[in-house]
Amino acid sequence: MTAFSFEVTHTDGEARCGILKTPHGDIETPVFMPVGTQAAVKAMDPRELETLGAQVVLSNTYHLMMRPGSEVIQKAGGLHAFMNWSKPILTDSGGYQVYSLSKLRNIKEEGVYFRSHLDGRSILLSPEKSIEIQESLGADILMTFDECPPYPATEQEVESAVDLSIRWAKRCKEFKKRKDQALFGIIQGGLFKDLRQKSLENMIEFNFEGYALGGLSVGEDMPSMHEIVSMFAPRLPAEKPRYLMGVGRPTDILECISSGMDMFDCVMPTRNARNGSLFTSFGKINIANEKYKFDMNPLDFECTCYTCSHFSRAYLRHLFMSGEILSARLNTLHNLSFYVSLLRVIRDAIKNKNLQAFRKKFYESRGV
């Protein structure tokens, strides 16, 4: 029996439910992965994440390479032991930093030369180095190192990124040694459909254990993003997990699940929580709003998380306006609970073949 496998268990149109088996446990898809960039999901401890139902977390190769260094984590026994998280982990390859840290990097064929955002030293992150670090971290799912082009970009620039990402993916595949970790390939191409198709066809030839659509939600309009996902999700291998990188608005997740995607990650629930922006069954609210000053109701009557079960909107507003650390913790706990619960309800809807009915109700509850 292999350490990694994926099985589609239910379908409703293009939407799917599945079981993704990893050495650290099974993952029910569709799934949302809380982001723990630096081996920690901001404001949360691992016990809380497990209690609210998180199945898998994401960490970042570039940031862990910079601090504390992969050698430290390896000495601790790997990333699971280091952060005391017993469930699956997916590591980003560092490819997103090629996009997000564009002012601090120089792209070459051999890899990317970064000027450290911490101390200014020059560091080369190559496809081989990315895989070496991810293997040493001990993540269950690794990502190929790629170039994520910005938006907007010319067709020539995007094609260059696609071609480079294909060559780098080949190097990642050839360098990978461990058999107990899965490697996902990333489809790039921006909004250029012919380049997306080129990337997809080349990546499929490598026969990765899973595939991701990358380079979306980087500034393009949402209808264009949805069009790309709805066109290319069904073209990805049906027997492999499909991961949509960095897309995190609840409406976008719902639409992209309907198109056939299985896995999602985004900093939105945690970052928004720290800024007082909270997701509810009736839409997003800003807890700093004056109207909540005397509101003794729970944040969301339909939510059973610890925050909603124990505290009022007035108290959450007070904590936020006072700059209390507890504000970030309670808000984050709620937002992540909302996301995890939303994905659980969507899975149930797919299993019962009533996703479209749920989708209609979801939008009606938000006045859309």
45 catalytic residue (yes or no): no
Q: What is the amino acid identity at position 351? A: K
Q: Which amino acid is at 108?
A: K
Identify the CA nearest to 365 among candidates 301, 305, 270, 307: 301
Cβ contacts of residue 194 below 8 Å, gap of 6+?
none
Cβ atoms 196, 187 nearer than 8 A: yes
104 in helix, strand or coil?
A: helix
Q: Which amino acid is at 10?
A: H
Number of residues assigned to the chain:
368
**Rounded-to-integer distance, Cα 129 and Cα 125, Å:** 6
Return d(Cα 36, Cα 90) in angstroms, integer: 10
How far apart, in Å, are the Cα atoms of 273 and each of 42, 160, 225, 286, 288?
10, 37, 25, 10, 11
Question: Tokens representing 87?
Answer: 């469930």
- CA 295 from centre of chain: 34
Catalytic-labelled residue, pool 12, 146, 265, 300: 265
Compute the 3-state secondary structure of the chain and give helix, strand, coil in percent, each to the nearest 5.
45, 20, 35
311-315-316-317 Cα dihedral, nearest 10 degrees: 160
In the block, tokens 């005391």 appear at 84
- Cβ-contact 148, 161 below 8 angstroms: yes
| 262 given a catalytic annotation | no
Is residue 290 within 8 Å of 270, Cβ to Cβ?
A: no
Token representation of residue 103: 């002012």
Catalytically annotated residue among 92, 140, 146, 300: 92
Provide the annotated active-site residues: 92, 265
